[in-house]
Amino acid sequence: MVVAKKNPQQIAKTIGQEIKQRTISDISGRLGNFLSNSTNSLLSVVPAQFRSFLPFIASELDIQAPTVENIQDRLTGKTKQSEIESAEITQVPSIESGNRLPKEKQILGNRGQYEIEDCLGARGKGIFYQAVQLLNRQPIIIKQYELPNDQHYTFQRISGIELADGRSQDFRLIIPWEAIVDQEYCYLVFADNLYNSPNLSSYLQETGAMSSIEVYGVLNQVLQSLQFLHGQKFRLPSGLESLKTPHGNLSLDSLLISYNLQGFLIYLCDLSLWEHQIIESDLNNLDFWLQQDLKDLGKICCYLLAGNDQVNCENEQEWSMGVEPNLQKFILQLIHGKFNNAEVARHNLPNLNFLLENNYLLHNQNKLQQEPLKKPKKLIFWMIIGVFSAACVGGLIWFLTKDISQKNTANKSIDSVKKISGIPLGNFIYTSEGKPNGIWYHITEKNLLIGKKSLNNKLRELSPKLQLKSVPLINSDPVSMLKTGAANFAVSSLINIDQNPELGYQEFAYDGLVIFIASSKKGRDKSLPIALNGKISLTQLQQIYTGKITNWQELGGPQLPIKLYIPSSNEAIINFKQRVLKTPELINNFERLISRQKGNNFIQEDSLQVATSLSSTKLMRAVIQDFENENPPIGSIGFDSLSKVYGECSVYPLALFDNNNDPVSPLIQKDGKPVTPQQIDLCNDKGNYAPNITAFTSQRYPLAYPLSVIYLRDNRQEPIGEKFAEILKTTQVQCLLSETGLIPLRKLDIATCNSYQ
């Protein structure tokens, strides 16, 4: 056999590169553990109930963490054991010493050889240890399982997941680095110390109940992780692929909390996949298990708010005292299985900005009452210690980065289009409901901006590289067009993600249906808005648009027959069916009224019992003319998108309510008071009212809905949909969208918007 000779220089170069790579890896690992454990050590001095103040202190000090590149030349010496031990170790029951692995025991795996240093405790079905990888002394965690021999093979083949397309994304899932099996035990190796973080069960034992704002943080993070877990395609170590993966083991014990200067992060660990060897093919009803994750999350939030896991979460009186009502309602919906999947649940999570603006997310009253008021000196002492600890952490980071220029803190949103990078080059196609009735066509093509410009032309000015062509929706179904490649992305309010986990979407604005009748001057005889007190219920709307109520007198109004109008926008009709009618029976009755108008074969006496379809301008004009007609007057009613109706003072948009909820108007006075027909004349009082932004962004207005950019989550395609959404969410374009009549994602500063003109 002839062996080819290798170039000595090439060999030396290869060895040098390997040494360099391992050195950088070693430095990175030591840096991460050093900073993490130094922070944990300092934070451990602060009582947990005061740690939530640290993000605000850090924000005021503008503290930023260094990168590896910033300080790798300053980090020398060997990492001490005290630096890699977690500052907080979960207290666990005693473990039989015979089952524990002895110190210095070595375990051989496919990725390296490991040595046990210390037993840390028990979690789930195993015992976990502090260990090191012998090659580079990198600290790791090893978890030991004692399983029957016939389960060893399966354990090694299913313990761990990775994205099937090879991407690497961090959604706070603690995934084993490798699984090892020997003659006695099975092991999982975790490549960092996160698995040694305290779980929420130990958090409750230490601190008691969480506040509403803390539970909101837990909810948002865990739903994001579950959305990723439920919606992505994963590959197991065996090579098998799974499209939907439930956690299957969600509890206070399997959610870990890690504090940092920005608050806390929640990590998911101990998936049933390796804790119980349950794979997708073992599940009779996969959707049941996906929803069970959401139910379990609801109960976890209930326990966090109550301060213990002994409460009956179905009895809200046991845990809801002092809890923000919108948050309480959402948690109950989780517990009762009202959401089909994590993406739908996260989409319905109450808007944080709304809750904060209205001062709803306060600490629970019952928790405040439990604070040790008898010992104010001790309380002040611990607060001083907490602030001092945060200052120490800040000083440490400042010392390590004192001669490095500070980067600007990342904004919550990019302010201008020119700061968007990575916009794909080329010609792309997107779809939305077409002219002349589509809302996106109305928003982009009509000259609605200041200076009589269209949004399309303005976007071309702001981003000349953006080459987009619009094609109309087919059958109001953006999903099929995306899947077939007929469009690169879609703009729509119709998102069907329940059956399409491969879809991604980003909301960029809000709109909603408004129900309107003819406006009239205050005090005028037979004024419909005044007679109805400016409001109508969804139940009454159902009865009107299915032909059960035909005269306003039946609702306490004047003796006026009701005539029905509907917009000629398919998107608006679908939203009306979904949000008002809801049931198949009511939708069928509604569609019969539409078909009568299309057939044009009804008799004159029955002409009012028809839903007449008109374009937006003609629809509003018809409602006004019917009421002004004296022979005889007719009390017509119609609906359309707020963005098309706002600014037309001749029609009055009614406040809406459902069940026992208070009426919510789509409009609000500038002083924050509700718009009522007794106080506001829409034509004479222009400038004194505006769209009720908070009601739409929080979706308290019953017929509010978001507009979204929808795209396939496929990293093989150019991310044009994601980039277009980024453009629409910049402050600059949010200002433009508000000029068109849409509701922006957040309240905008007038001076800021004027600066873009």
The larger pLDDT score, comparing residue 77 to residue 387, is at: 387
- Please report which confidence band the pLDDT of residue 314 belongs to, taking 50, 70 and 90 as the band edges: confident
Give per-residue pLDDT as tens, 703-714.
999 999 999 887
HSE-CB at 499 with a 13 A cutoff on CA atoms is 4
What six digits make up the tokens of 390?
Answer: 């945060």
The larger pLDDT score, comparing residue 497 to residue 513, is at: 513
Give the 3-state secondary structure of residue 427: strand
Give the pLDDT score at 456: 92
Give the 3-state secondary structure of residue 413: coil
- Reported for 80-86, long-range contacts at CB under 8 A and 24+ positions apart, including other chains, are 81/117, 83/33, 83/34, 83/37, 83/38, 84/33, 84/37, 84/130, 84/139, 84/193, 85/37, 85/118, 85/130, 86/37, 86/40, 86/120, 86/193, 86/196, 86/197
- The residue behind tokens 């604005």 is 509
- Please report which confidence band the pLDDT of residue 565 belongs to, taking 50, 70 and 90 as the band edges: very high
d(CA 120, CA 99): 14
- Residue 218 corresponds to which amino acid? V
Give the 3-state secondary structure of residue 325: helix
Q: Whole-model pTM?
A: 0.52
Give the pLDDT score at 236: 86
Segment 317-339 shows an average pLDDT of: 88
**Please, what is the angle between helix 376-400 and helix 54-61, to 10°?**
40
- The residue behind tokens 């600890």 is 389
- Please report which confidence band the pLDDT of residue 397 belongs to, taking 50, 70 and 90 as the band edges: very low
Q: Report the run of H or E that residue 562 belongs to, with start and end.
A: strand 562-567
CB 639 within 8 A of CB 567: yes
Cβ neighbours of residue 77 closer than 8 Å, sequence gap 6 or more: none
Neighbours of 668 (CB within 10 A): 18
- The residue behind tokens 């000090």 is 61
d(CA 415, CA 422): 16
Neighbours of 325 (CB within 10 A): 11
Q: Are strands 263-268 and 427-432 parallel, antiparallel or unpaired?
A: unpaired
Which one, of 414, 578, 426, lies nearest residue 495 by Cα? 578
Q: Are strands 255-260 and 241-242 parallel, antiparallel or unpaired?
A: unpaired
- Please report which confidence band the pLDDT of residue 728 belongs to, taking 50, 70 and 90 as the band edges: very high
Give the pLDDT score at 708: 93
Give per-residue pLDDT as tens, 56-73.
444 444 444 443 334 333
Give the domain ranges of the chain: 98-369, 418-508+706-755, 511-705
CA 503 to chain centre: 15
Write the DSSP assignment of 661-722 as a string of letters. Answer: SPPB-SEEETTSPBP-TTT--TTTTTTSEEE-HHHHHTT-STTEEEEEEEEE--TTS--HHH
- Please report which confidence band the pLDDT of residue 88 belongs to, taking 50, 70 and 90 as the band edges: very low
The larger pLDDT score, comparing residue 84 to residue 526, is at: 526
Same topology between domain 98-369 and domain 418-508+706-755: no
What whole-number percentage of the chain has pLDDT above 90? 41
d(CA 546, CA 540): 10
What six digits make up the tokens of 591?
Answer: 């569609």
Give the 3-state secondary structure of residue 369: helix
d(CA 216, CA 329): 12
The answer to which of 198-207, 369-378, 391-400, 492-501 has the lowest mean pLDDT is: 369-378
Segment 640-655 shows an average pLDDT of: 94
Give the pLDDT score at 377: 45
Can you identify the CATH homologous superfamily of domain 511-705? Answer: Periplasmic binding protein-like II (3.40.190.10)
Give per-residue pLDDT as tens, 121-170.
898 889 999 999 998 888 999 999 998 888 888 888 888 888 887 776 77
- The residue behind tokens 């209205």 is 358
Which one, of 737, 640, 637, lies nearest residue 693 by Cα? 737
d(CA 94, CA 745): 52
Give the pLDDT score at 521: 57
- Please report which confidence band the pLDDT of residue 25 belongs to, taking 50, 70 and 90 as the band edges: very low
**pLDDT at residue 429 tops 90:** yes
End-to-end CA distance of the chain: 78
d(CA 610, CA 495): 29
CB 552 within 8 A of CB 558: yes
Give the pLDDT score at 187: 94
Can you identify the CATH homologous superfamily of domain 418-508+706-755? Answer: Periplasmic binding protein-like II (3.40.190.10)
CATH class of 98-369: mainly alpha
Cβ neighbours of residue 338 closer than 8 Å, sequence gap 6 or more: none
HSE-CB at 522 with a 13 A cutoff on CA atoms is 10
**pLDDT at residue 412 tops 70:** no
What whole-number percentage of the chain has pLDDT above 70? 74
Give the 3-state secondary structure of residue 57: helix
Alpha helices per DSSP H over 62-151? 68-71, 81-84
d(CA 269, CA 285): 23
**pLDDT at residue 87 tops 60:** no
d(CA 156, CA 711): 36
- The residue behind tokens 């509604």 is 590
**pLDDT at residue 17 tops 70:** no
Q: Are strands 113-123 and 126-133 parallel, antiparallel or unpaired?
A: antiparallel
- Give the total residue count for the chain: 757
Segment 603-607 shows an average pLDDT of: 45
Give the 3-state secondary structure of residue 273: helix
CB 552 within 8 A of CB 531: yes
